[in-house]
């Protein structure tokens, strides 16, 4: 279906096309100079010491846990209100996910108080997910991590340039992971990035990213080495220069796009804040945010009512989504047998509305009017 107002629209133009063509003409299309440029530019924008380009954010999360030494028998405390990759990556290294509830209906991030109640002698790490680009209470999380000697992985896939008390999300814990999937703030089709301020984690991650090899083809082509050893059981989680060239252009556009998204959010809030039947999560959030998505939560609702509202919006040509289903309710994770009442209600009653920088004022108003009409008649 061709929606009148889609959920998302790529922020692409001739600049991305030109970058790809130039990379193709260079005849170096695998990991190489463009990946290096992308990494350096990304690290500088986040005020991070190091950035490592990855094939996607899932592999970034996988190597984040692996580089931190998380392994079988360890426990990692994780939100359930997240994309399943956050939790899958814990299982990739053989560790056990311990699901934690979120704060409340206004703050959809993992609850530090509940985190501390879940810590056992097997707990080795906490993974936080900055929902929608809105920061977790990182002071509280880092305090817990320090007191219990735990590692912190930031799933910042929603939050490039989002801030927490002047620090960029993804740079506060031990490792930050970002996504460049096609619908993210930075789009390269597939792609991801790890950021860290720890040189040991940089070295470990780069090694595991490319088969455990001590040097890569690009380095050998520059004459830095002619041979290599394999010293770890690594993976092929590399980005390529074609995608990196797109990412470089996207970074140049990012600040302007995020400023436009902030205006879109303001208009949504102005039009919806007095609708009694809904909650707008993070309504009074003051930090700079990427505004990856704009969610609303239906009050006194259930999943059937939520789907009725979404279907009526669909019929009006408005595309919506759900961020997210509860991971602990997926068949593969039901064996952990947990109940997370706030997460479960949110998963069944949240609606993600269209959000992108190029969204026009009249289209935002069309969505606002449609929601008011549908909810009042539902």
Mind telling me the catalytic residues? 184
159: nearest Cα among 84, 106, 234, 82: 82
Q: H/E/C letters for each residue in the chain? A: CCCCECCCCCCCCHHHHHHHHHHHHHCCCCCCHHHHHHHHHHHHHHCCCEEEEECCHHHHHHHHHHHCCCCCCCEEEEECECCCHHHHHHHHCCCEEEEECECCCCCCCECHHHHHHCCCCCEEEEEEECHHHCCCCHHHHHHHHHHHCCEEEEECCCCCCCEECCEECCCCCCEEEEECECCCCCCCECCEEEEECCHHHHHHHHHHHECCECCCHHHHHCCCCCCCCECCCCCECCCCHHHHHHHHHHHHHHHHHHHHHHHHHHHHHHHHCCCCCEECCCCCCCCCCCCCCEEEEECCCCHHHHHHHHHHHHHCCECCECCCCEHHHCHHHHHHCCCCHHHHHHHHHEEEECCCCCCCHHHHHHHHHHHHHHHHHC
Residue 279 and residue 296 in contact, taking contact as beta carbons nearer than 8 Å: yes
Closest by CA to 262, choosing from 349, 357, 197, is 357
- Calculate the CA dihedral of residues 206, 210, 216, 217 and round it to 10 degrees: -140
């Amino acid at each position: 279906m061709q929606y009148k107002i889609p959920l998302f629209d790529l922020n692409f133009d001739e600049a991305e096309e030109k970058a790809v063509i130039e990379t193709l003409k260079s005849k170096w299309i695998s990991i190489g100079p463009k990946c290096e440029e992308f990494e350096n530019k990304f690290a500088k924008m986040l005020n991070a010491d190091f950035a490592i380009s990855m094939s996607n954010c899932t592999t970034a999360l996988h190597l984040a846990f692996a580089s931190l030494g998380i392994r079988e028998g360890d426990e990692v405390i994780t939100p359930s209100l997240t994309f399943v990759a956050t939790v899958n990556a814990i299982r990739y290294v053989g560790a056990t996910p311990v699901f934690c509830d979120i704060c409340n209906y206004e703050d959809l991030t993992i609850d530090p108080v509940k985190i501390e109640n879940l810590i056992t002698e097997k707990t080795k790490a906490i993974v936080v997910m900055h929902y929608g680009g809105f920061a977790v209470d990182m002071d509280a999380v880092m305090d817990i991590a320090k007191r219990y000697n735990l590692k912190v992985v930031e799933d910042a896939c929603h939050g490039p340039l989002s801030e927490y008390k002047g620090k960029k999300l993804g740079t506060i814990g031990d490792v930050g992971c970002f996504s460049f999937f096609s619908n993210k703030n930075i789009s390269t089709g597939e792609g991801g990035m790890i950021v860290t301020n720890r040189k040991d984690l940089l070295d470990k991650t780069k090694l595991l990213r490319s088969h455990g090899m001590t040097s890569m083809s690009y380095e050998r082509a520059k004459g830095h080495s002619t041979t290599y050893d394999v010293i770890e059981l690594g993976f092929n989680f590399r980005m390529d220069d074609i995608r990196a060239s797109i990412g470089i252009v996207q970074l140049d556009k990012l600040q302007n796009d995020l400023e436009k998204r902030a205006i879109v959010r303001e208009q949504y809030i102005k039009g919806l804040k007095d609708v009694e039947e809904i909650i707008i999560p993070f309504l009074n959030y003051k930090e700079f945010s990427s505004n990856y998505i704009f969610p609303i939560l239906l009050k006194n609702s259930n999943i059937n009512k939520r789907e009725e509202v979404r279907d009526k919006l669909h019929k009006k040509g408005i595309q919506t989504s759900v961020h997210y289903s509860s991971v602990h309710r997926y068949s593969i994770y039901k064996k952990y047998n947990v109940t997370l009442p706030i997460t479960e209600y949110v998963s069944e009653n949240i609606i993600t509305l269209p959000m992108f920088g190029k969204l026009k004022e009249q289209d935002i108003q069309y969505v606002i009017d449609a929601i008011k009409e549908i909810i009042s008649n539902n």
